[in-house]
Chain A
């Protein structure tokens, strides 16, 4: 799972969101490190929908513009949990190595 996919799925895990809300949520989750372009976001959403990890929710019109909401599926929750477990294991392993060398960042 790419970092962008991981962040979008994490954003949707909180509540169904429309495109702009996803972009803002991803920026907040990544503390500003990841800013999704429109083309990038829809590539990620297409793949999530195709893989059954997310699906379309409702549509709204806001100031004359279409807003389409997306929500995470049960499969998406399971995939996110598995990815969190995988990343956590990696973090624990890396922290152990750094701690053994007495370097900062090993504290977890």
Chain B
């Protein structure tokens, strides 16, 4: 059977889909597409149409982000987990800093400048909205929380400030930007919702653990180097490495979190110059913890890859 021009054009459109998806589905999709397109003029001169084009491009985006349930490890699952971990860790950071600030105020101690309590409130509200099933609201709140950092970064670059200042804004804002971007990209309409029970409990645990760091915060003004998210990440990573089964989105998501937090941590230690010995110790500890988590994840992944057979691309998972 020789292919019509319409079939050729449709197959060309399907190239927007990932290769592994086309290998699995192309013939099936072409057969369905041509079922109702049997007019000879249409077959010679027709094209798939705007509706089909948009539907195919939407499917291409979802399969690239989400895996469409066909692959064993879907990038979308990693993206969603990074968004959730970012919301929990960064909101815990601000809660801890806010409580410490309140205690300082109550004791009449000097307050730590440059706090951003509105960021913590926005992230907490975004997390609550996401767990309540309001994805659009969550995405708007997360993007709004990331805007001030983006504004300072852009204005710093436009005004020709020292390159160091511009890079600093980028590194400081990176965790927020990545969290907001992952939330927007990962939690699309057809994405599975996060477990409300699991993430509510996890958030409560991380926030309470953050409160345990308030004394450290009071003694060292450690909020200058933001240790809470790293400590939370360290605890979650150790728990994952000790208890989890191989596979899943956790190793990749934790690795992304390490890569997002590490540049700013290294910058503080190497470039910023921290005069206070206590803060410097916290800053160095933060880098050591991140490197340790990164190495442990890498070693574990390499070991499991040697022991686990590769999944067959295109085979259904469930």
A interface residues, Cβ below 8 angstroms from B: 2, 5, 18-20, 23, 37-44, 46-47, 49-52, 55-56, 62, 64-68
Q: Are A2 and B190 within 8 A (Cβ)?
A: yes
Q: How far is the CA of A55 from the CA of B316 in the complex (A)?
A: 9
Contacts of B57 in A (CB 8 A): 39
Instruction: Please count how many residues in chain B sit with their CB below 8 Å of the partner chain's CB atoms.
Output: 32
26 residue pairs from A and B, CB less than 8 Å apart: A2-B190, A19-B32, A37-B52, A38-B56, A39-B52, A39-B54, A39-B55, A39-B56, A39-B57, A39-B58, A39-B59, A40-B55, A40-B58, A41-B32, A42-B68, A43-B55, A43-B59, A43-B68, A47-B68, A49-B316, A50-B67, A51-B318, A55-B316, A55-B318, A65-B30, A67-B31
Q: Does B44 contact A (CB under 8 A)?
A: no
Q: Known A-B contacts: A47-B68, A49-B318, A65-B27. Give 17 more (CB < 8 A).
A: A20-B32, A20-B35, A37-B52, A37-B54, A37-B56, A38-B52, A38-B56, A39-B57, A43-B55, A43-B58, A46-B69, A50-B70, A50-B317, A51-B192, A55-B316, A65-B30, A66-B31
Which residues of chain B are within 8 angstroms of A50 by Cβ–Cβ distance?
67-70, 317-318
Nearest B residue to A20 via CB reads: B35
The CA-CA distance from A55 to B69 in the complex, in Å, is: 11
How far is B35's CA from A58's CA once the two chains are assembled, in angstroms? 19
Q: Which of B56, B67, B190, B192 lies at the interface centre, i.e. has the most chain A CB atoms within 10 A of its CB?
A: B190
Cα distance A40–B62 in the bound complex, in angstroms:
11
The answer to whether B317 touches A37 (Cβ under 8 A) is no
In the complex with contacts A2-B190, A49-B69, A50-B69, A42-B59 CB distance below 8 A: yes
Residues of B within 8 A of A51 (CB): 69, 192, 318
Shortest 8 CB-CB contacts between residues of A and residues of B? A50-B69, A39-B55, A65-B31, A46-B68, A37-B55, A39-B56, A19-B32, A39-B59
Main SS of chain B's interface residues?
helix
What residues on B are CB-neighbors of A43 within 8 Å?
55, 58-59, 62, 68, 190
Q: Write out the residue numbers on chain A whose beta carbons fall within 8 Å of the beta carbon of B54.
A: 37, 39
0/1 string, B17-33, CB within 8 A of A gives 1: 00000000101111111
With known contacts A51-B69, A51-B192, A65-B34, A38–B55 Cβ distance under 8 A: yes
Assess whether B302 is interfacial by the CB under 8 Å rule. Answer: no
**Could you say which residues of chain A place their CB within 8 Å of the CB of B62?**
43, 46
Known: A38-B52, A39-B55, A47-B68. A52 touches B32 (CB 8 A): no
Contact status B189-A2, CB under 8 Å? yes
From A39, A44, A47, residue with most partner B Cβ within 10 Å: A39
Residues of chain B contacted by A56 (CB below 8 angstroms): 316
Query: Closest residue of chain A to B30, judged by CB?
Result: A65
Residue of A nearest to B191 (CB): A47
Looking at the assembled complex, report how far the CB atom of A1 sits from the nearest CB atom of chain B, in whole angstroms: 10
Q: Which of B28, B32, B67, B189 neighbours the largest number of chain A CB atoms within 10 Å of its CB?
A: B32
What are the interface flags for B185-198 relative to A under an 8 Å C-beta threshold, 1 for contact and 0 otherwise?
00001101000000
